[in-house]
A and B are shown apart, each in its own frame.
Chain A
Amino acid sequence: MNKVAWFIFLALAAFSCLDQPDCFRLDNSEYGIKFRVIGYGSSSDTLASIVIDGTGIVYAADTVPVTNAIALPLSPARQELSYTFTWKNGKVDRLHLGYKAQIQFVSQECGQRYVFTDLTVLETTFDSTHVFNAKPVQPVDVNIEIFRCAKPDHIGVNFKKLLTQIGTTTTTRDSLAPIKAVTAFFRGPNGLVPQSVYLPNDTLKEVFLPLSADHDTARYEFDFGSVKKNLVMIYRRELKTSLIQSCGRYTVFAGLKVGKTVDWDSTIVKTKILKTVTNDPAILNLEVNL
């Protein structure tokens, strides 16, 4: 028995020597934000920049939509930070965040670390927020979910090039359309009201067009440079009540179909409906063969 006891003693002594902390990823100084649309899921809005107020820190966001979580830093010297989010569509949102920052000595080799806990949204202009996990972790995971009210008011148009057509069977492929401008026309009290559609580029394989909650039809004029083409969409408007009271009611556009214009020659006729209901974020509802 004595041999066993000594063996265990030496094993424990050796075990205790392996007890040094790992100096890698000691701080949990970044937290994750996930943007969501109430009632729909992940948002795909595109950020232009994020500014941490009063610090001079500016993140020029890339053009990738915020489909995945984004990570933002926390200051060890403060207990609260304000962030300004500027979106590509010009909208500005603010988030005032409170948290607890504590310092802790780790070891002679690693020095100190900062421990962040108790994330709280003190104030925000976002429609709704939810602290999913009040303690940031490494690697960064979602801590705060930010919700915006649903606005499924765009249809997605996908440009295709016709390759073959045998009977009713067609083969197509994605095509880049050289679009100079797209103008949407909605009927207002004083006639048709033109509304310019935001285009991120001048050669696109897809474009997202606004719909009007006040009308059953919309006409879109595509300026391809050498020629202008029209697309008429007919739809049904359905009022839905949001899960969050402050969002009120919103319109879903259903029964999407392509209509006819008076000027038949300038009408886009080779189309295929993919989805008859709009979504937020917008999805591709229609294929157009150029």
Chain B
Amino acid sequence: MKSIYNIALLVALALPAFGQKKAEKDTVTVKPSFVPTGVRIGTDVIALAKTSYDKTFNGWEMNADVDFNRYYFAVDVGSWGRKYAADSANYSNTGRYFRVGADVNFLKKDPDKNMFFLGLRYGNATFSENMSVIRHDQQWGNLSGSYENNNIRAHWLELTTGLRVKMWKMIWMGYTARFKFGLGTSSTPVMLPHDVPGYGRTDKTSYWGFNYQIFVRIPVRKSPAVPAEK
């Protein structure tokens, strides 16, 4: 039920894009070009900010996409580590991840190629984690111990939506909301993973993620002219 709600929310996010007025029928037909016009490379500002103010988090993420008409091939690469000190346990993890996928831009007529998009990603992470526990149980006695998982693999899927807006010359900003689901991790017989870099907590069957991004767009050719709206 929650998944249905989440998907509905993602669709709702994209609804304004569907509300665009269709251009009147034009007598000129422009054949769409699927040759890329530029590469956009950016970083997640939230990850950088969290790294500076949140002592439990340390990470970064780079994002890139390239256009094929209104379709974009997108790649995200990142790293994060977490460190928690609870009353009875200390936990830390670190690892790297990537996501690959595609976005569809619903702002078809925007001359700057600003984006309101829906997309799909496949995510994959490799990470290690360790935990030390100090606990004395009244029934079972001493349960203290140290546990670790090394080089665990994880994969998941994401439905994405968001904005990309040209701010000034080559500088772009945007955000991406991610509905993450379908997490699978490699077998860990003693300790279950807590947090997968790029995904988040593993005790949830679905998870929301959010990036606020700054990009530099490097044009590789001039964008074809967009037919003027009447």
**In the assembled complex, A73 has its CB within 8 A of some CB on chain B:** yes
The distance in angstroms between the C-alpha atoms of A1 and B19, with both chains bound, is: 10
- Stretch binding the partner chain, chosen from A7-15, A125-133, A138-146, A247-255: A7-15
Cβ of B194 and Cβ of A106 under 8 Å apart? yes
Among A21-74, those with CB < 8 Å from B are: 21, 55, 57, 73
When distances are taken between beta carbons in the complex, the residues of chain A under 8 Å from B192 are 102-104, 115
**In the assembled complex, B88 has its CB within 8 A of some CB on chain A:** yes
Cβ of A77 and Cβ of B16 under 8 Å apart? no
**A1 and B188 in contact, given A21-B203, A105-B131, A109-B86 (Cβ under 8 angstroms):** no
The residue that A13 contacts in the complex, of B13, B87, B193, B210, with Cβ under 8 A, is B210
- What 0/1 readout, one digit per residue, does chain B (88-103) give for beta carbons within 8 Å of chain A? 1101000000000000
**In the assembled complex, A75 has its CB within 8 A of some CB on chain B:** yes
B54 to chain A, nearest CB (A): 11
A189 to chain B, nearest CB (A): 54
Cβ of B89 and Cβ of A112 under 8 Å apart? yes
The distance in angstroms between the C-alpha atoms of A3 and B30, with both chains bound, is: 33
The A/B interface has a contact count, at CB < 8 Å, of 81
When distances are taken between beta carbons in the complex, the residues of chain B under 8 Å from A57 are 139
**In the assembled complex, A203 has its CB within 8 A of some CB on chain B:** no
Among B131-167, those with CB < 8 Å from A are: 131, 133, 135, 137, 139-141, 143, 147, 163
When distances are taken between beta carbons in the complex, the residues of chain B under 8 Å from A77 are 140-141, 143
The distance in angstroms between the C-alpha atoms of A1 and B88, with both chains bound, is: 48
**In the assembled complex, B175 has its CB within 8 A of some CB on chain A:** yes
When distances are taken between beta carbons in the complex, the residues of chain A under 8 Å from B39 are none
A135 to chain B, nearest CB (A): 13
When distances are taken between beta carbons in the complex, the residues of chain A under 8 Å from B202 are 104
A31 to chain B, nearest CB (A): 15
Among B185-206, those with CB < 8 Å from A are: 188-195, 201-203
**A73 and B139 in contact, given A5-B163, A9-B175, A104-B203 (Cβ under 8 angstroms):** yes
**In the assembled complex, B85 has its CB within 8 A of some CB on chain A:** yes
The distance in angstroms between the C-alpha atoms of A15 and B188, with both chains bound, is: 31
